[in-house]
Structure 1
Amino acid sequence: MVKYVIAFFLPWLSLMFQKKMVPGIICLVLQVTVIGWLPAFIWALLSLLKEEGKL
């Protein structure tokens, strides 16, 4: 549950916890822009679900 909250508020940190440094930095740049926050969240969520085998 905590992973999903982190993915919602700090998508870049969620990717960093998954040891995906370059995508995490790109996601941080996306999140800085207001329009890019939603794609960053979706990206982090999909990555998290794929890692857990739910996707």
Structure 2
Amino acid sequence: MKKKIPKGIKKHIRIKKSQIRKQPFTEEKKEKMVEELYQKMLKLKENENKTLSIN
């Protein structure tokens, strides 16, 4: 069963989401995203190396 969200809260959430989208990325956010992507890339590379070494 779906939980019903009170109308006021729903509107509030919608406004928040649109505000977040409109905001330009701050430098901190950009750096954080780059860092996360870099970590993911490293993990992928490690996994590739492991699979290659098994074969």
TM-score w.r.t. the length of structure 2 is 0.35
Task: Report which structure shows greater RCO (CA 8 Å, sep ≥6).
Answer: 1
Larger-Rg structure: 2
TM-score w.r.t. the length of structure 1 is 0.35
